[in-house]
Structure 1
């Protein structure tokens, strides 16, 4: 059978593997293999809620092995690090456990069609101390590490004999994109809920400080100015400190230094400024990549040097027709591209070489500020302008994005039952994770 190997189980890769498994895999038309370096999947836009403690990841993570069993594809655990285009093989590094012991040896997988959807990682631009003294939110593991550090900092402040020191409970977020601003609002809510459960020596309004540093002159620089201004207004109401037009030059254990010589003390630093594709992709076996390691692809999402290799999502640089720009690294783009590749894979299995072309459609953007507000612009380029929305309508539309992702993975009935179960159990649980 035609062997389709998908590397990367993010939202796009997992949706594609599920759809192909339910059709080509189920009907024995192709062998579908999904490879990822983790055992479970969590929708990436939820990571800021996990980091703040507003969400328990155990109730939202999907096990790849179970999904593969239910949807007729194979799952293999490991991290791709090599490619042999001549042999049509990829190599997966050995899997090492927490004690440094090899659990799974290095393996190779043959493919007829390779789809790379490994997403993106945070780009610290080589800023001094950023890698050592800040935490990114690229993975569930990183989000949980940040939550543990935040929780421990609050517990320490609660039980220490001396008074809370300046900067001890200050969180500095570098980067004012969607991740940064959503995390700031979620932290404001979560830290106040945490103090309800016996944390009586910490006054969140006095002791906990949240700051955002952004090199641009405004928040959300990639989105419309009206949306940016609305988000800035809401964050200032929450007493989130905004340092705009400040470029970080150094990160240390004590805080942040900017190009204007400003020093901002901090107990925790989150780096959310800029993204790049994983380093292993850089010119891998002669494939063309750009300066942030993205694989260069044409409008069929085939790499420019090899028609048997496709790439999509954040790790691919796909041109927007009629412009000199590339498709932005956004979840809606990955979802659209996964749908296109579903059609393309079925055609390739039939031996067809003429494949459909991807045309990016901007449906707008939504930014969720927790229980405080949700704002966004709808339709985007579809009507040549954007419609600004906020409040309950924006919130419902934001929540619907996650429901659509769950529907793509499980179907409507399962999504509805899961949502109902979470609504019921949520009423008997703490509103913030306390461990």
Structure 2
């Protein structure tokens, strides 16, 4: 992102704080699905009553559930990214790029780290931003569970740069394997082994997208690789079944579909160590792995444990059902980084996109009540079910709610359309329905004339 854009945002924030002190200052840290939706809604509806600042360490937003498609090369991230600065200009809020470094609850300020370019030159210095209401929505990061070698030798899919790194490395290894070159440089039968550690939605969806990529690559010059036999994909899950958080019927159907795609599924397989070209199991077995992905769990970013706010064992900020922190009513947290009570299940709200979307809508109304001095309502999570996409091959899931009874199993075209609608709902919250429809048409037309896999 250009320095002029960042300077405009910094100057705008300074001007807002100096000339509009009567405005209620709402600072949102984290431009993920929920944070960006909340900033957009507040900017649209609260202009003149509140100044809204969105902080994120990246310059552009991409919906996190899409990262597995970027990693597989089946989606061009450039067509789906949204520049925060542009969104801020269109929807009357201010964007500040930088990473959260600290919190001063007494002075009601947050510290944002300096911004460097790719050569290490400072673009924007470290600064402090004042707030009246602070909302933390910085998402989650991969939990490697202290498994030896996992962080060093496995690729996580927390951010766009990681997904792009995986895609480039996968294509590079495919090209080498097509010429009979293994990871250690020896000439042998062409083969590439991909290990995906974690049988949740991310791991399962990535495995299916990779199988599709393997089949497509053959049409673009990799003629010596058999996509089914020579590109081996294995999903490794420590639990007795994949998708353990979903109904057993969804898990069983998904396992059957993966097996039909010649994707190996290992369950009750606890990983003890990840090496550069091998995954070791706790039972003594090992699996060759030229490329390893870690998708086995999440935790909150480390910085949240350094803010002197109550956190749980995963580092999530503990909040009340109003989404306010337990010790400061002017600080809210939601999404993956927050532990919000879910009394009906005697648990906390799960880290899902639908939860962040619901909480963003709740906070839009709750913050208006807070500014008016009214009592805040309690957030109630509505589990609408879960969907798992296997790319062009299939989709499965379950719907929940009063309209369908307790649980309704779905698959095929209906499940694929509903899965797609989740992303379209997110886009509609950011752009409105008309622009979302127009952008969707443009992207569909572009796909008609573009390679099915991003090759560079």
Compute the TM-score of the two structures, normalised by the length of structure 2.
Answer: 0.92
Residue of structure 2 in register with 1:82 after alignment? 102
- Confirm or deny that 1:416 pairs with 2:437: yes
Structure 1 residue 81, shift from structure 2 partner:
1.5
The whole-number CA distance in structure 2 between the counterparts of 1:183 and 1:13 is 25
CA deviations 1:266-306 (Å, max 9, x no partner) are 11100000100101101x33210001100000000000111
Alignment-derived partner of residue 4 in structure 2:
none
The equivalent of 2:111 in structure 1 is 91
Whether contact under 8 Å (1:170, 1:268) holds in the other structure is yes
Shift of 1:169: 1.1
Say which SS state the counterpart of residue 205 (structure 1) adopts.
coil
Q: How does 1:10-409 map to 2 (within 5 A)?
A: 10-25=32-47, 28-159=48-179, 165=188, 169-282=192-305, 284-352=306-374, 354-379=375-400, 385-409=406-430
Question: Where in structure 1 are there 5+ consecutive unaligned residues?
Answer: none
d(CA) in 1 for partners of 2:405 and 2:273? 41
Quote how far apart the aligned CAs of 1:168 are. Answer: 5.3
TM-score, length-scaled by structure 1:
0.96
Alignment partners' CA distance in 2, 1:168 and 1:98: 35
Separation (CA, whole Å) in 1 of partners of 2:427 and 2:32: 13
When the two chains are superposed, the root-mean-square deviation of aligned CA atoms in Å is: 1.5
- Distance in 1 (CA, whole Å) between partners of 2:115 and 2:285 is 43
Once the 2 structures are TM-superposed, how far is the Cα of residue 383 of structure 1 from its aligned partner? 6.2
SS at match of 2:307: helix
The question of whether the paired residues in 1 share the 8 Å contact of 2:178 and 2:190 is answered with no
Conserved in 2, the CA contact under 8 Å of 1:377 and 1:387? Answer: yes
Q: Distance in 1 between matches of 2:401 and 2:125?
A: 48
- What secondary structure, in the 3-state scheme, does the structure 2 residue paired with 1:195 have? helix
| Separation of aligned partners in 2, 1:105 and 1:160 | 50
Q: Secondary structure at the match of 2:103?
A: strand
User: Is this contact kept in 2: 1:172–1:269, CA < 8 A?
Assistant: yes
The structure-2 alpha-carbon separation of the partners of 1:165 and 1:272, relative to structure 1 and needing over 3 Å to count, comes to farther
Per the TM alignment, residue 206 of structure 1 is displaced from its structure 2 partner at its CA by 2.2
Q: Is the 8 A contact 1:168 1:267 kept in 2?
A: no
Change in 2 beyond 3 A, CA 1:381/1:248: farther
Q: How many residues align?
A: 431
Kindly provide the CA deviation profile for residues 24-57 of structure 1, in whole angstroms up to 9, marking residues without a partner as x.
12xx110000000001111111100000000000
Unaligned runs of 5+ in 2: 1-22
**308-317 vs 95-104, which moves further:** 95-104
Quote how far apart the aligned CAs of 1:205 are: 1.9
Partner deviation per Cα, 1:332-360 (whole Å, 9 max, x = no partner) = 000000000000111222233x1111011
* Structure 1 residue 194 displacement after superposition: 1.2
